[in-house]
Every structure is written in structure tokens, then in C-alpha cells.
Amino acid sequence: MKILLVATNQTDRFMDRMVVRPVPIGLAYLAASVDESRHEMRVLDLMFSDDGPGDVEDAVKEFGPDLVGLSIRNLDNQSSSNSVWNLPAVRETVSRIRGVSEATVLCGGPAFSILPAECLEYVEADLGIAGDAAEAFSTLIERLDAGEDYRDIPGIVYREDGGEVMVSEGRFVSDFHNFPRLDLLDMRKYNGSGFGIGVVTKLAQAYYPTLDSSFDGSDWRARPPDEVVEEIAGLSRDFGINKFFFIDSGFNVPADAAKSLCIAILESGLKVRWNSYIRPGSGDEELIQLMKQSGCSLALMSESGGGSRELSERLNGLEAMAHLCDRVGLPFTMNVAFGEPGESRESVEQKIEFLDSVKPAFAVLRLGTRVLPNTSVAQAAVEEGLIESESDLLRPVFYIEEDVRDWLEDRLREEVEAHPRWNLS
């Protein structure tokens, strides 16, 4: 079988005078799952393309694939003030493929997994994979190649004979059999971009976490520290890359695993810089010290609302973590959401005062909350008539509490103008 894998993401972010272009790690893991002794494979990355659909059409005409896999990283650019919806470009790409080929079109990726049936229906693809895709994908291509039924594969999205879109029960769980095939990407273009080249350290059950996801580390699958060290050593050796971003919603959860990885990096003698997200409530000064000693140059923190905890409790947890970083001398950032359900003038000012007090290296002030399925924000959006059902969330929908809606953006812009290291998103 001839397989063309396409990273469709063309959304970069500008953050504090820094362009952030994420490497398509998920697609690289997908490519690593393909048995190239049995199948011919090519990879096309659209991040730096001027005409994504056109480049895919040209690649399909030249290569003649039997299967085209489209990885969808983001539904939109997650900006309420300058919203860009990414799926129309994917839909056009599918249409362009249809015009020159009879190849099966498959979709997957974090964004696809949010609303897989709705996404497949909109972009008009043939098949999809929801959740961790690598093992499911390798199983699927073997079934397709042999002409066998594939509908029992966990997480497969398909069409019944009548055209109804179905999603099979369950999800595959990735176990990191292979390193991602970053050699198939133009890593020179990514080197030096943003926070560093992405390296996965662990995954949780929630493939695309929502604001209300529980987060205690109990369901996380961490890679062995020596494997992570081996991967970053290879990237340094093969591509001259020495700056990394550990893709992890909470590097410090659980703290013991984080310490083990830091120690492994130190013992390897690698001279690298790395960054990652950290969460309040896990870890101590020893961990932050180990992070800095092993090359961490920036810790990213987020106050995103949601859940049942009071604002003061959430801010106190972030403040404690910020103080730990200050004591060790590790710079940190803050990403703070404004306009969540129940937001008031008092809570807005409380968040602003908090940012003033902790003095992050830079801060992102998010205007509104991107509404995701299965969250309390989505429930509020339905109750207030912002959306009819969660299926509407395929398109960018942002919630801003009615009591602050008329003046919130102006208030945040005042603060951004007064703080050169603060940005409004």
C-alpha cells in the first residue's frame, strides 16, 4: 500500500516577540508505526506551505497513494479576538484529493478527537481515528491492505452503508514502541522556533484534555527516563538541536517521575535547554532545583478556570509554585483566562493583581474560554443559548460571562499596554 501522511496544521502563534511553530509530533509517531518493508510511505508537512490544499493535490498526483492520512492538530487558532477556523481548509484539501484520486482519506489528531463523528462528517473524509492513533493506524492499514473488516478497531470512525457516521467503542493506548520519525520532517526550519522541539514524556487517558479533566497523575503513562534521554541525544546528534519542549500538561505530576527524568538528563551529561508546563500542588524545591540543573530555562503555568475550586484556591496554588520558582531562580510564565462562567469585576481585578504580584517572565491574558465538549463551560453555553448542542463546538465558540462582556476586552488591553511583557489572546 502507498501511504501519504499530511500534517495539516498551519497555525503558528506569536508570543512575546517569539513565533511558536509546533512540530507535528503526532504525525511523526504515526509514521513510525508504518512497516516500510510492506508499505511505501511519504510525509508532507504544511506548516511552511503557502498553498496547503494545492501542495497536497500535487503530492497526490505525483505519488499516487492508496491512503491519505490527514492529521488535524487544532480546530482553530483559539483566539477570541481574531478567530480562525481551520477545518474549512481541511475540507478543501479532501475535495482536492477527491478531484485527482480515489485514495481512501483518513483523519486523526488531537482536534479530530474532540468531536470525531462531527469532524469526519464536515470534512467529508472516509475514515478517522479518535485517540492515540499509532497502534490503531498500523492495525488499520494492515486490515485495509488485506481487505478485512476494520470496524472493531477501538476508536475507528467510519461510515455505515447508509452513510451514517459511527465511532467504535474504546481507544487504543499508545505505548511508545518507536521514536517519532522526525527525520521525515525538515527539522532545520523548526530548530530555534518557540519553546523548543517537542518531545513527549508521558500521556494520559484524555488525548485532548478539557478544562474539567481530573489531573492527579494516576492514569498517566510515563516513558522510561533513559528512552527520553536517548531521544533528545539523537536529536542533538542528528539535527544539532539542543532546545526542547517536553510535551506534558504537567511535567511535575507525579513528582517522582519528574525527578527521575531530571536526574537521568544530568547523569547523561547532555547540555540541553528545555521547557515544559507545570501544575500547582505537586513537587517541592528539590524538584524545581533539579529542573533548573538539568537544563530547564522556563516553566509554563496556566490559570484556566473550570472545575469546582474557588478562584482564591486556584491562585494560591499557582502563587506557591511561582514562589518555588523564584527561590530557585527559574523563570516562569502565566497564562490566565478571563471571562469564565461566574466572572465578575472583582474576580477580574483579583486575577490582574495576582499577575502583578507574582511578576512572571511574561503573561498571556486570554479573553474568553474556548468552549470544549463535556465541560461545565459547555453546559453553561447551552443553558444560555450560546450553542444549541455540543456538536456546534466544531466551530470556534468562546464563552465570556455576560456580566463582564461589555468592558472586559478594554480593561485587559489597558493592562497589556501598561505591561510590555503581557500579551492579549
pLDDT at position 209: 44
- Cα–Cα distance list, 91 to 66, 100, 120, 166 (Å): 19, 15, 10, 19
CATH number for the domain that contains residue 7: 3.40.50.280
Instruction: Tell the burial category of 327 from Cβ atoms under 10 Å away from its Cβ (0-12, 13-18, 19+).
Output: exposed
Whether residue 116 is contained in a domain is answered as: yes
In a domain, 172, yes or no: no
In this structure, what C-alpha cell is assigned to residue 319? 502563587
- Whether 175 maps to a domain, the answer reads no
**132 and 240 together in one domain:** no
β-bridge pairing 2-7 and 40-45: parallel
Identify whether residues 389 and 420 lie together within a single domain.
Answer: yes
Last residue of a domain, one of 167, 191, 221: 167
- In a shared domain, residues 163 and 241: no
Indicate if 258 and 337 belong to the same structural domain. Answer: yes
Q: Are 334 and 365 a contacting pair, CB within 8 Å?
A: no
Give this prediction's pTM: 0.91
Number of domains, the chain: 2
Give the domain-ending residue among 121, 143, 167: 167
Query: CB 164: neighbour CB atoms within 10 A?
Result: 10
Q: Could you give the CA distance from residue 261 to residue 254 in angstroms, rounded to a whole number?
A: 11
Q: Are the beta carbons of 189 and 352 closer than 8 angstroms? A: no
Q: Are residues 94 and 123 in the same domain?
A: yes
Residues 240 and 335 in one domain: yes
- Give the pairing type, strands 197-200 and 40-45: unpaired
The angle subtended at Cα 279 by Cα 276 and Cα 284, nearest 5°, is 95
In one-letter notation, the amino acid at residue 272 is V
Shared domain for 120 and 72, answered yes or no, is yes
Co-location of 134 and 221 in the same domain? no
176 belongs to a structural domain: no
Pairing between strand 422-424 and 398-399? Answer: unpaired
245 and 143 within one domain: no
- Intervals of the chain under pLDDT 50: 14-17, 205-215
* Within-domain flag for 163: yes
CATH number at residue 356: 3.80.30.20
In this predicted structure, what is the pLDDT of residue 220?
67
Which DSSP string do the residues of 277-312 spell out, in sequence order? Answer: E--TTS--HHHHHHHHHTTEEEEEEEE---SS--HH
Per-residue pLDDT tens over the stretch 18-72: 567 889 999 999 999 999 999 999 999 999 999 999 999 999 999 999 999 999 9
Any domain includes 31? yes
189 and 222 in a single domain? The answer is yes
Same domain? For 81 and 214 the reply is: no
Q: Is residue 174 situated within a structural domain?
A: no
Give me the domain span that covers residue 388: 182-424
Instruction: Tell me: do 238 and 155 sit in the same domain.
Output: no
DSSP per position, 327-338: HHT--EEEEEEE
DSSP assignment of 23-86, as one string? --HHHHHHHHTS-TTT-EEEEEE-TT-S-HHHHHHHHHHHH--SEEEEE---SB---SSS--B-
140, 167, 194: which is the final residue of a domain?
167
In a domain, 9, yes or no: yes
